[in-house]
Amino acid sequence: MLWPMAVRTIISGRVQGVGFRAFTRDAARSRDLRGWVRNRDDGTVEAHVEGPDREIESLLTELGRGPTFGSVSSVETEDVDDTGATGFEIRR
């Protein structure tokens, strides 16, 4: 059974300037997940993701590996309320 969920995740490491937001967007869209991703002033990347629990878990595993030129040191996740997002976008 797939359970709907929503999470906020903060990814740390070398995650800015390496295509991490596009990597996240593409990985989320390939799983039909909804939400957004953005860079934060502290050098981390933040994402809000909504969709089936198994697809989110799969995405989080992929985010832990990161894109070719990135280097992920941690992926912190917390459950949040579903906002009814449509699509998955990069926010500036």
Catalytic residue among 21, 25, 29, 54: 21
SS3 state of residue 9: strand
| Catalytic pick among 38, 39, 54, 92 | 39
Task: Evaluate whether 51 touches 87 at the Cβ level (below 8 Å).
Answer: no
Q: Is 39 a catalytic residue?
A: yes
Annotated active-site residue 21? The verdict is yes
Residues with a known catalytic role:
21, 39
